[in-house]
Amino acid sequence: MGISQARTIAFDVLRRVETQNAYADEVLRAELGPTIRTEDAGLATELTMGVLRWQRLLDFLTGRYLTKVAKTLDVEVRIALRLGIYQLWFLERVPAHAAVHESVELVKRARKRSAAPLVNAVLRKAAKEASHLAQPRGALASLLPKELPLAEQMGILHSHPTWLVERWLRNFGEERTRKLLEANDGVPAVSCTLLDSRRREDVLTSLQKAGCVIAPGLLLRDAWTLHGGNPAASEAMQKGWAAIQDEASQAVAHLVAVEEGNTVLDLCAAPGGKTILLARAAGSKGRVIAADLHAHRVRAMAERFEAAGIRNVEPVTIDGAQPLAFERRFDRILVDAPCSGTGTLARHPEIRWQLRGEDVTDLHARQVRLLSNGLANLAPRGRLIYSTCSLEPEENELVVQEALGGLQGEFRVVTPRSALQRILREDIAHESLIDADGFFRTCPSVHGTDGFFAAAIERTAEKI
């Protein structure tokens, strides 16, 4: 018996994430082309994201069956063990013999044949223990040492780094942190945005042909939630008529409130999903500058805009953290700043293992420069949206506070009430997405979307 295509894909993606700090969804999307069967695409995605989501817990379980610490294992062996134990403890439909055998074969395929007996022995122990427990996952708490601090316990059981759990316990309290961890450990909704309204029926037909079941969006009236299938293989995605994009992310683009004929700056534009929404709103008489720091990402955006038939966007390579040399100011600016991504840990679980606590401080300084430079290029009566997919105050309200320091007479934070009302479903109150300070916020445990922050800032007058 050989190795299934799904397990091979999952193993290769996990190895790239581990060794190259690649983004799992991007690598998966490249692997899951139209030739991959729907059931294989589904299992490969489940295995890849499940292993990344539960990585710390899987390593904890692995360590119980080893005489040496899991970190000393070669990366290929560690990944094979994680895949095997994930299937044994989390996937009821996978036969134990298949999980064990194919994990052993994956190690051999990775030219680590000498480790095959170890993988076989460890997974047989794991299979035996899981089969003896009526509810394997329900028994996990009993396996932890009783003297562990709360953050350590929560970090292992919910598979998050301890430093992040400690941070959230300080900021949010125990109950909200527990709910957030639980939300991050769930499978997030797959949301779709229509990029070309003329192709609405074509998009629906294309997604259905790809095996997707289409349901209404969670928050937005023009969003769809997709279940099953392989949307990446659909004509709609390949031709740029639609895109997979979280609803909170879609909402941020609409908060910019671009009007026909506006000049627009998207300062941190890649990969360009929000830019397309801005360009459609600006129309043929409008002009959009799509800027990004990295030239290869700018080239990829240009190709994406071309494929989508977008003609009013100029992609440029710019370091937005440096003073900008534009000749004119912009009616609308979006600063969707690079951030820690702590609001996206369900969708991008690998971030849990790549991020460090000091990164938040480093990001804050760059985010302040990005926002300050954006504000300097905003036209009178213009609107700027500063946004992140982070839950951390240092990247959100504290950035706005620092950038606006001394500029209160020239700029003001406004509540994007009317922009929200235009896009939300009728049964969703805009107040549920606006905090006491007028900022837009979503939370995975409350809204079912990624965790986003956005501040709407308007220029009230020229600086005197």
Q: What is the pLDDT of residues 356-390, one digit of tens each?
A: 999 999 999 999 999 999 999 999 999 999 999 99
Q: And the tokens for 226?
A: 């997709």
The three-class DSSP label of residue 252 is: helix
pLDDT, residue 65, reads 86
- Asked if residues 130 and 136 have their Cβ atoms less than 8 Å apart, the reply is yes
What confidence score (pLDDT) does residue 463 get? 54
* Predicted confidence pLDDT, tens digits, the chain (464 residues): 568 999 999 999 999 999 999 999 889 988 887 788 888 988 999 999 999 999 999 999 999 888 765 557 899 999 999 999 999 999 988 899 999 999 999 999 999 999 999 999 999 999 988 876 655 566 788 888 889 999 999 999 999 999 999 999 999 999 999 999 999 999 999 999 988 888 899 999 999 998 899 999 999 998 999 998 888 788 998 888 898 999 999 999 999 999 999 999 999 999 999 999 999 999 999 999 999 999 999 999 999 999 888 999 999 999 999 999 899 999 999 999 999 999 999 999 999 999 999 999 999 999 999 999 999 999 999 999 999 999 999 999 999 999 999 787 899 999 999 999 999 999 999 999 999 999 999 999 999 999 999 999 999 865 54
- DSSP structure class, residue 395: G
Q: Which of 279, 224, 188, 257 is nearest to 425 (CA)?
A: 224
- Residue 108 token pair: 């051999």
- CA 217 to each of CA 13, 62, 247, 410: distance values in angstroms, whole numbers, following the listed order: 29, 39, 8, 38
Rg of the chain over Cα atoms, rounded to whole angstroms, equals 23
Query: CA 52 to CA 44: how far, in whole Å?
Result: 12
CA angle (368, 170, 437) in 5-degree steps: 50
Tokens of 168: 């959230």
Q: Tell me if residue 47 falls in helix, strand or coil.
A: helix
CA 110 vs CA 45, 71, 272, 395: distances in Å:
20, 18, 36, 40
pLDDT of residue 30: 87
Across the chain, how many H-helices and E-strands are there?
A: 20, 12
Both tokens of residue 215? 């349901």
Q: Tokens for 7, please give them.
A: 């397990």
Q: What pLDDT does 143 receive?
A: 84
Contacts of 74 (CB under 8 A, 6+ apart): 112, 115
Specify the pLDDT at position 464.
Answer: 41
Catalytic residue among 212, 268, 389, 443: 389
Contact between 165 and 155 (Cβ < 8 Å)? yes
Active site residue 212: no
Q: Residue 212 to residues 44, 222, 231, 448: CA-CA distances in angstroms?
A: 16, 17, 7, 20
Q: How far apart, in Å, do the first and last CA atoms of the chain sit?
A: 77
As a whole number of angstroms, the distance between CA 82 and CA 347 comes to: 19
- Euclidean distance between CA atoms 418 and 255, whole angstroms: 9
Phi, psi of 87 (to 5 degrees): -65, -40
Apex 334 CA angle, 23 and 239, nearest 5: 55
Instruction: Give tens-digit pLDDT for 80-126.
Output: 999 999 999 999 888 999 999 999 999 999 999 999 999 999 999 99
pLDDT > 90 fraction of the chain, expressed in percent and rounded: 79
Q: What pLDDT does residue 135 have? A: 56
Dihedral class, residue 247 (left if φ above 0, else alpha if ψ from -120 to 50, else beta): alpha
Tokens of 248: 């909170």
